[in-house]
Amino acid sequence: MCCVLGLAGVGTVILNDDALGMSGDGKSSLKILHAWIGYVFSLNLLWRMVWGFCGGHYARWRAILPGGKGYVGALKAYIRGVKAGDSPAYRGHNPLGRLMVALLFILLSTQMVTGLVLAGTDLYYPPFGHEFAEWATAAGEDHSKLAGLKPGKKELLDPEGYAAMRKFREPFVEIHELAFFALLAAIFLHIAAVVITEIRERSGLISAMFTGAKMFGKKPED
């Protein structure tokens, strides 16, 4: 959560650099900060993906993603229960919540992949930065040309190679920005759904995120 908030805040400032009158060096510094927060975020996201295979029962992929035997029936039953004011109880994620988890994982993964590409094209940072630096300088195997290459400095760049590299990054920029706004909307909907569910079901859903303990007035479906 802290990484997502940090990335969203710094990213918003970068997107509005012209309106804020930011200098080129200032923007470069923010991109570096954005990239380092992004690395921490990526490690956390990758670890959560691994935990989906080896974690506890309710942390595994089959318990948090939609699909599997009986899922469609459970989803329909849950929606009927919500409409009737008597939602089925779940120890883990309910069927609607699993749809949101899938959407969040898709958007977060999209941000991670496109962000790592952009860190390579803008800052020549790993894991793809070396390849983009070779492309932008037309260095090939002559790595001595890369020694003095720094973000924002164009003295060592090959005009044609750099232009081609920047053309390559354009769709990644667009996807990164669109996924950012989609992620903000999904986070808002997720928080709203959690609060509404807590109010209607009184299961201790929010406190369970910290304690792992829910309260049930009926037998959980899972």
Q: How far is CA 73 from each of CA 79, 108, 197, 206, rounded to the nearest angstrom?
A: 10, 28, 20, 26
Question: Per residue in 120-159, pLDDT tens?
Answer: 999 989 999 888 988 888 876 666 667 667 776 677 788 8
The span from the CA of 117 to the CA of 129, in Å, is: 8
Region 29-36: what's the mean pLDDT?
Answer: 94
pTM for this entry:
0.88
pLDDT of residue 48: 95
Q: How far is CA 16 from each of CA 3, 10, 21, 177, rounded to the nearest angstrom?
A: 20, 10, 9, 12
Answer yes or no: is pLDDT of 165 > 70. yes
pLDDT of residue 205: 74
Q: Are 63 and 56 in contact (CB under 8 A)?
A: no
The span from the CA of 52 to the CA of 60, in Å, is: 4
The span from the CA of 210 to the CA of 219, in Å, is: 22
Answer yes or no: is pLDDT of 66 > 80. yes
61 vs 219, residue with greater confidence: 61
91 vs 187, residue with greater confidence: 187
| pLDDT class of 1 with cuts at 50, 70, 90 | confident
